[in-house]
Amino acid sequence: MIWLVMIASGLMTFAARFSMIGLFRDRELPKLFREILAYVVPSVLAAIIIPDILLVAGQVAVLDNPKIPAFIIAMIAAALTRNVLVTISTGMIALWVIRAVLG
Amino acid sequence: MNNAHPTKTAAQEYWDGVKDELPLMLGVMPFGMVFGVLATEAGLAPKVVMAMSVIIFGGASQVVFAQLAGAGASGLVIASTVGIINLRHALYSATMTQYINTLPMRWRVLLSYLLTDEAFFVTLHRMQTQPPSPFMHYHMLGTGSLLWIMWQISTAIGVGLGELIPPSLNLGFAIPLTFMAITLPQIRSVPSLVALIVAGIVAILCQDWPWNIWVITAGIIGMVAGYLTEQVITKRNSAGESL
C-alpha cells in the first residue's frame, strides 16, 4: 500500500516537472507566459520560506520566535558576502546562540 | 573559432554545474538527514524511506509525506498533497523548457526527473548570466546529479544515525536559509520585491487551505503581482518621457 502511494506521488511529481518540458518541443512559450515566469524565483521561494520562518505550530509568532532574528542576521550576512556557505553557517550559529541565550 | 569566448565543452559545463551546486550541500545535507530522521520516527521502514528519496526526489514533499503517513492519513490524501506541493515544479518546467526545448526526448526526461528547487535555481542563474552554448544542458546534469547523490547519502545518514542527531540542533532551519542564500542576491528590482512580499502574505493567509495548496497558490499570485508591478512601472516611465 505504502509503495503504491509512493509511486503515485513520484509519478505526479515527475508529471509536474516534465509537463512543459515535454509539451514545448522546438516551440517558444507565449510572451505573456514568459514575462510572468520571470518572477518564479522570488514568488515560489517566498511561498516556501516565509511560512517556515513566521509560523510556530501553525500560528504566526513574532515574539518568542528565535528563527526571525536568526534569519535576519543570515540575510545581512547574505547581503554582505553573497556567499552561500557563510550565509547558512551564520544563520545556524545565530539560531543556536539566540536559543542558548534565551534558555 | 573565437578564442576570446571559446565555447565550453560538455565536461566543463558539467563540472561548472557541480561546482556551482556544491555550496548548497551545506543546507541540503541537513535537510536530507532531517527527512531521514522524521520519516523513520513516523514509522516508515528504512527501505521505504530510502526508496522515497529515489522515487519522489523532492525534499519538502517527502517531509510532508512522512508526517501525513505518521498521522495515519489516507493514501489518497498523501499522494494528492505531494502532487500539489510539487505542482510548483511545472513553473520551473515552463521556465527551463526555454533553454532545453531542442534536446532529444531522453535528455528532457532525465533533466525533468532532476528538476528540483536547488538544481533549477542554480542552473537558471547560469542560463541567464552566461552565453548559450550547445552543451549548456550539461550544467543542469551537473547540478542535478550532485544533488541526487547527496540527497540519497544524507537520507541514509538520517535513517542510520537518526537517534544520534539531537533535535535541539534545529537542522531543519538550514532549508529556508539555503533558499534565501541563493535568491536574495538575485532580488534587485521593485517588481521582484513585490512578488516576494505578495507571495509571502498569500502563503500565510492560505495556510488553512487543504492539501498544502497554498504553495502553488502563493507562487502564482506572487508571479502575477510581480508582472503587474512591472507593467505599471513601465507605463509610468513611458508616460513620464512623453511629458
Mind listing the pLDDT tens digit for each residue in B83-102? 888 989 999 999 999 999 89
Residue B43: enclosing H or E segment and its boundaries? none
Separation of alpha carbons B195 and B160, rounded Å: 40
What residue in A sits closest to B103 (Cα-Cα)? A25
What residue in B sits closest to A57 (Cα-Cα)? B207
B109 touches chain A (CB under 8 A): yes
The per-residue pLDDT for B1 is 46
Burial class (CB in 10 A: 0-12, 13-18, 19+), B71: exposed
Burial class (CB in 10 A: 0-12, 13-18, 19+), B4: exposed
Whether residue A29 and residue B222 make contact (CB cut-off 8 A), yes or no, is no
Question: Residues of B with CB below 8 A from A14's CB?
Answer: 112-113
B142 touches chain A (CB under 8 A): no
Mind listing the pLDDT tens digit for each residue in A44-66? 889 989 998 998 888 888 888 99
Whether residue A28 and residue B98 make contact (CB cut-off 8 A), yes or no, is yes
Over residues B165-190, mean pLDDT: 86
Domain boundaries, chain B: 10-185, 187-243
Name which of B171, B180, B204 to mutate to probe chain A: the one with the most chain A Cβ atoms within 10 A of its Cβ: B180
Q: How far does the CA of residue B150 sit from the closest CA of chain A (Å)?
A: 16
A43 pLDDT higher than 60: yes
Separation of alpha carbons B229 and B56, rounded Å: 36
B167 pLDDT higher than 90: no
Using pLDDT thresholds of 50, 70 and 90, give the confidence band for residue A29.
confident
B223 touches chain A (CB under 8 A): yes
Separation of alpha carbons B67 and B71, rounded Å: 6
ipTM of the complex model: 0.89
CB B207 within 8 Å of CB A58? yes
pTM of the model as a whole: 0.87
What residue in B sits closest to A103 (Cα-Cα)? B168
- Count of residues in chain B: 243
Contacts of A68 (CB under 8 A, 6+ apart): A53, A54, A62
Over residues B13-35, mean pLDDT: 94
**DSSP state for residue B195 in the 8-state scheme:** H
Average pLDDT over chain B, rounded to an integer? 90
The per-residue pLDDT for A76 is 95
